[in-house]
Amino acid sequence: MRPYIIIFFLSVALACGTKEQESNQPAESNTDEKSVSLTAVQLRNGGIEIGTAAETIMSASVKVNGVVDVPPQSMVSVSFPLGGYLKSSHLLPGMGVKKGEVIATLEDQSYVQLQQDYLMAKARMDFLSTDLDRQKELSSQDATSKKIYQQAIADYKTQQVLIKSLEEKLRIVGIDPDKLTVNNISRTISLRSPIHGFVTKVNVNIGKYVNPADVLFELVDPDDIHAALTVFEKDIMLIKKGMKAQVSLADKPGKKYEVDVILVTRNVDENRGGLVHCHFENANHELLPGMFLNGSFELDNKKVWSVPESAVVRYEGKQYVFLAKDSSGFEMTEVETGIVQNGRVELKGSTSINWKEQKLALKNAYSLLGKLKNKTEEE
């Protein structure tokens, strides 16, 4: 029986040792999965260079896109407050107009009636003025009752109000009441452009009756168009009023336009972006409302630790560098990157790594990644 007992205990001890060895194996495997060693020949053939990160002056840039937009004060919808029939107009979409230029002629009997009412009101005013002077004289001599004199005053003031209101109605439709006489009453009225700009829409045709609420034409002042740029919420707080940027048309990226920020909106839309309104510094351009723009804001310069772009590899959605453990061994370490500029990448702060002294692979880091993954597959 004794030999069987000895064999049993030996079997238990071997089983425990095997389990202990298996439990320790994953930890060693995890360390090896991030480490790779190369011979001197492999380093030379792979073109791998070893060095340290460098302090570099970089300026962060915020990429944006948007459209050429027009502020409300530069987009005019032209209508006519009295309505009428469109008698003539030479406007076409895209045509330029000058402020005060006649852009249409309208015709209606209501225009004649308005002019008639005004001239008749003025004529009656002359009578009421004379009558008021007469009643005042009679009242001062007690030759008439106070009531008649007070009625004359009321009639005179009422007529003043009527004339003033008719004058303003005439001015609204473009008729100067000071120049209106019996001899120049007209059944037509000229509609004039309120701004310098160009026509974007023509909504009427000759002979059509237009109501006061109808928009006849839409005009745009091109000197005051601006860029409405969309900035993502993570960058919106970096943009300030007065900052400069460069934008370009989506189909002409080589031609840049200088803009400066005039307003940063304080709300974020459903796409997690906010609008930044910018003014074009040079008004002499061919940009039109609705054109698509791309651009970037250059932020303040700052000193950062950076490495060449070839030192950083992207793997499974994360970014890594290969730290040099010795002359031939490297360890893949995850890093957080920042600004990318002039072929270099910012390495953002890591308290556990002294970038001033830590050596790492600066060139052809993807060769190390390929070697590491091949090794892992072989294992």
pLDDT for position 254: 82
Domains of the chain: 32-60+303-378 (2.40.420.20), 62-72+222-300 (2.40.30.170), 74-108+187-221 (2.40.50.100), 111-183 (1.10.287)
Per-residue pLDDT reduced to its tens digit, 147-190 = 888 898 999 999 999 999 999 999 998 899 999 999 999 999 99
pLDDT for position 26: 39
pLDDT for position 379: 56
pLDDT for position 32: 58
pLDDT for position 349: 67
pLDDT for position 157: 94
Per-residue pLDDT reduced to its tens digit, 114-131 = 999 999 999 999 899 988
pLDDT for position 206: 92
Confidence label for 377 from pLDDT (cuts 50, 70 and 90):
low
pLDDT for position 20: 43
Tell me the C-alpha distance between 38 and 277, whole Å.
55
The packing angle between helices 146-172 and 109-140, to 10°, is 150
Per-residue pLDDT reduced to its tens digit, 195-235 = 888 898 999 999 999 999 999 999 988 777 888 888 888 77
Confidence label for 24 from pLDDT (cuts 50, 70 and 90):
very low
pLDDT for position 274: 85
pLDDT for position 136: 84
> What DSSP assignment string belongs to 80-135?
-TT-EEEEE----TT-EE-TT-EEEEEE-HHHHHHHHHHHHHHHHHHHHHHHHHHH
Average pLDDT of the chain to the nearest whole number: 82
Q: How long a stretch of residues is the chain? A: 379
pLDDT for position 13: 42
Residue scoring higher pLDDT (75 or 14): 75
pLDDT for position 106: 94
Tell me the C-alpha distance between 104 and 101, whole Å.
9
pLDDT for position 36: 84
Mean pLDDT value across residues 101-113: 93
pLDDT for position 366: 87
* In the predicted structure, residue 23 carries a pLDDT above the cut 60: no
Closest CA to 327 of 46, 39, 47: 39
* In the predicted structure, residue 11 carries a pLDDT above the cut 50: no
Per-residue pLDDT reduced to its tens digit, 287-326 = 777 889 988 887 777 788 899 998 899 888 889 999 988 8
Confidence label for 265 from pLDDT (cuts 50, 70 and 90):
confident
Contacts of residue 11, defined as CB under 8 A and 6 or more positions apart, other chains included, come to none
* In the predicted structure, residue 86 carries a pLDDT above the cut 90: yes
pTM of the full structure: 0.54
Contact between 89 and 203 under an 8 Å Cβ cutoff? The reply is: no
Q: How many CB atoms lie within 10 A of CB 143?
A: 9
User: Helix or strand or coil: residue 279?
Assistant: strand
Contact between 206 and 216 under an 8 Å Cβ cutoff? The reply is: no
* In the predicted structure, residue 7 carries a pLDDT above the cut 80: no
> What DSSP assignment string belongs to 128-168?
HHHHHHHHHHHHHTT-S-HHHHHHHHHHHHHHHHHHHHHHH
* In the predicted structure, residue 357 carries a pLDDT above the cut 90: no
| Half-sphere exposure for 322 (CA within 13 Å, toward CB) | 32
Q: Long-range contacts of range 128-132, CB-CB < 8 Å, 24 or more positions apart?
A: 128/152, 128/155, 128/156, 128/159, 129/156, 131/155, 131/156, 132/156
